């Protein structure tokens, strides 16, 4: 059989999408996966560079070039295995990673044409594997090495668990909620990341011997000291995330109908408020305004639309300054979500029973860049206007969850963010941290890269300790 012919000039393949009018009726996954034909055509667009920049640009350094070449040869399972050397989460990352900011931005083909759709190919490998070989890959290994504790079950901890269990460490993940996944379960909606994908990739860790304990809040249910001294853990990784929502700090924010994006999304994503006769309800009126321009704002707006509300995203800067994934912005627009740029809320008004009825906003204009590097929104005096509204969702960012810091004063933090060195080690020996609790509101992939780096550092630290112990005996 002749080698398949490279064809970089073929148009970038577009994955199918459920039509907007259909998908806003429920929680169905919006983006579909490539067909085999599409995957082959797309993989053949890859230039097979000698010095693949995409691999360097990927925070996990997945061997992108090699996995794509395997797809060109029809070896999709081989592609999946290649990805698995670095990441057991291609189903998650193929859906939620901002590929346009990492691998795809470095793709050489992208200099002249559209970059290779690396994210869609990653997802294709994972979907293919799950469909045809999902059961076969159960590893059923039982590590026997030192015990390591993960605090939180979000992307940072999951990645650290993978790396450490591969290296024979006995990993236990402690999760405060009743379900696993951290922000991937309470924050990311199932129409972006179906739960069976999340659950199956977590199940893979279980098959590698990783233990999970839900309903444990480290700091409250058990202290770090107890983990070391009583439960025999030799290192701890803190991946507790950015679970402290910023408030709007305007009058009326405690009116009924005003939610933080965290609460709104948790009620729906985690507690299924979207379902008929939901045990945990959510109040959605006719008109929703979501405040903010990041992924949480898009997710909240898209759920609001799915629950039947006329939905507007109010953002104090312009379209170019939105921080959400390009695909989510596009999907939100397709679904009929309105965008109102250069506006910010100044007050919320309610009726006599405390239900939100109206909001007052202020027009903004763009000024000189601020600390975020984006043009600062500058209020235009006297430009106040009022609009009727039933639901306001504040998606204006999050700070690290302070639960553990409260009970562990010796853990040094700066503005709530746990301070770490280059090895992700905190001010406490053998305590490492990564993801949003260190970075503030960041991304899934950077959290995973922190997990990877911390796992490496934990491995090195414990091996060095063993060496020392051996040296001391000799």
Partner 1 sequence: MNKIIRKQQLTPETALFEVEAPRIAKRWKPGQFIIVRPTSSSERIPLTIVDGSKERGTITMVVQRIGKTSAVVVETPADGAFADVVGPLGEPAHITKVGRVTLMAGGVGVAEVLPVAKAFKQAGNYTTVLAGARNDSLRILREELLAVADEVIWATDDGSFGFSGNVVQLLEATIKSSGVKPDISHVIGPIPMMRAAANATRALGIKTYASVNPVMIDGTGMCGGCRVTVGGKVRFACVEGPEFDAHEVDFDELSRRTKAYRKQEVAAMEAHKCALGLHA
The whole-angstrom separation of Cα 14 and Cα 35 is: 10
Shortest spacing between CB 261 and partner 1, in angstroms = 10
Give min distance, CB of 240 to partner 1, in A: 9
Q: Is 147 in the site for partner 1 (CB under 8 A)?
A: no
Are 385 and 363 a contacting pair, CB within 8 Å?
A: yes
Question: Is 200 exposed, middle or buried, given 0-12, 13-18 or 19+ CB atoms closer than 10 A?
Answer: middle
Nearer to partner 1, 146 or 219 (CB): 219
Among 262, 269, 295, 443, binds partner 1 (CB under 8 A): 262
State the binding string over 173-212 for partner 1 (x if CB under 8 A, else -): ---xxx-------x--------------------------
CB of 177 to partner 1, least distance (A): 6
Beta strands in 200-355 (DSSP E): 211-213, 233-238, 244-245, 258-260, 287-291, 310-315, 338-341, 343-350
- Binding pattern for the stretch 211-250 against partner 1, x by CB under 8 A and - elsewhere: ---xxxx--xxxx-------------------xxx-x---
Q: Which residue has the tokens 């300790």?
A: 465
| CA distances from residue 32 to 17, 29, 353 in whole angstroms, order as listed | 5, 7, 44
Site string for partner 1, 397-436 (x = CB under 8 A): ----xxx--x------------------------------
Q: How far is the CB of 279 from partner 1 (least distance, A)?
A: 4
Long-range contacts, stretch 102-107, CB < 8 angstroms, 24+ apart: 102/57, 102/58, 102/59, 102/445, 103/54, 103/55, 103/57, 103/58, 103/62, 103/64, 104/54, 105/57, 106/53, 106/54, 106/56, 106/57, 107/53, 107/54
CB of 436 to partner 1, least distance (A): 12
Strands 170-174 and 147-151: parallel
353 binds partner 1 (CB under 8 A): yes
CB of 152 to partner 1, least distance (A): 11
151 within 8 A of 454, measured Cβ to Cβ: no
Closest CA to 165 of 212, 98, 104: 212
Distance of closest approach, residue 301 Cβ to partner 1, in angstroms: 18
Residues 363-402 that bind partner 1 (CB under 8 A): 401-402
48 sits near partner 1 (criterion: CB under 8 A): no
Query: Within positions 276 to 295, which residues make up the interface with partner 1, using CB under 8 A?
Result: 277-281, 283
Nearer to partner 1, 178 or 466 (CB): 178
Specify whether the CB–CB gap between 304 and 332 falls below 8 A.
Answer: no
Number of residues counted as binding partner 1 (CB under 8 A) = 39
Q: What is the SS3 assignment for 49?
A: coil
Find out whether 346 and 362 touch, Cβ atoms under 8 Å: yes
Q: Which CB sits closer to partner 1, 244 or 347?
A: 244
Three-state DSSP at 288 gives strand
Could you tell me the smallest distance in angstroms from the CB atom of residue 172 to partner 1?
A: 13
Give the nearest distance from C-beta 438 to partner 1 in angstroms: 17
Residues that bind partner 1 (CB under 8 A): 176-178, 186, 214-217, 220-223, 243-245, 247, 253-254, 256, 259-260, 262-263, 266-267, 270-271, 277-281, 283, 353-354, 401-403, 406
């Amino acid at each position: 059989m002749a080698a398949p012919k490279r064809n970089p000039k073929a148009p970038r393949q577009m994955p199918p999408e459920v039509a907007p009018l259909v998908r806003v009726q429920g929680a169905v996954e919006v983006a579909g996966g490539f067909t085999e034909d599409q995957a082959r055509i797309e993989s053949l667009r890859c230039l097979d560079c000698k010095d693949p920049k995409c691999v360097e640009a990927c925070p996990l350094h997945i061997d992108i070039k090699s996995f794509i070449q395997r797809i060109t040869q029809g070896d999709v399972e081989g592609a999946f295995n290649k990805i698995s050397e670095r990441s057991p989460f291609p189903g998650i990352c193929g859906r939620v990673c901002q590929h346009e900011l990492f691998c795809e931005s470095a793709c050489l083909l992208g200099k002249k044409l559209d970059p290779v759709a690396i994210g869609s190919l990653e997802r294709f490998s994972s979907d293919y594997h799950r469909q045809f070989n999902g059961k076969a890959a159960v590893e059923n290994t039982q590590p026997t090495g030192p015990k390591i504790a993960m605090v939180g079950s979000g992307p940072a901890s999951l990645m650290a668990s993978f790396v450490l269990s591969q290296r024979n460490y006995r990993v236990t993940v402690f999760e405060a909620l009743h379900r696993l996944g951290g922000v991937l379960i309470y924050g990311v909606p199932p129409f972006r990341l179906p739960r069976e994908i999340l659950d199956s990739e977590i199940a893979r860790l279980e098959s590698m011997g990783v233990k999970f304990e839900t309903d444990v809040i480290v700091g409250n249910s058990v202290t770090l000291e107890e983990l070391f001294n009583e439960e025999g853990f030799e290192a701890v990784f803190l991946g507790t995330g950015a679970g402290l929502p910023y408030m709007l700090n305007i009058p009326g924010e405690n009116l009924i109908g005003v939610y933080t994006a965290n609460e709104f999304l948790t009620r729906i994503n985690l507690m299924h408020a979207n379902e008929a006769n939901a045990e945990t309800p959510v109040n959605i009126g006719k008109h929703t305004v979501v405040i903010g321009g990041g992924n949480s704002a898009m997710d909240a707006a898209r759920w609001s639309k799915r629950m039947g509300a006329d939905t507007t995203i109010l953002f104090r800067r312009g379209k170019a300054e939105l921080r959400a994934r390009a695909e989510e912005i596009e999907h939100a627009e397709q679904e009929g979500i309105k965008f109102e740029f250069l506006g910010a809320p100044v007050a919320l008004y309610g009726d006599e029973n405390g239900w939100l009825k109206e909001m007052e906003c202020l027009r903004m204009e763009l000024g000189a860049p601020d600390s975020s590097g984006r043009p600062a929104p500058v209020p235009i005096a006297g430009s106040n206007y009022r609009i009727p509204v039933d639901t306001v969702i504040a998606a204006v960012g999050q700070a690290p969850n302070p639960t553990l810091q409260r009970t562990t004063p010796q853990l040094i933090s700066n503005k709530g963010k746990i301070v770490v060195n280059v090895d992700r080690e905190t001010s406490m020996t053998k305590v490492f941290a990564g993801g949003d609790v260190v970075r503030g509101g960041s991304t899934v992939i950077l959290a995973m890269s922190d997990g990877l780096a911390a796992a490496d550092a934990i491995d090195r630290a414990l091996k060095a300790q063993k060496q020392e112990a051996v040296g001391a005996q000799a």
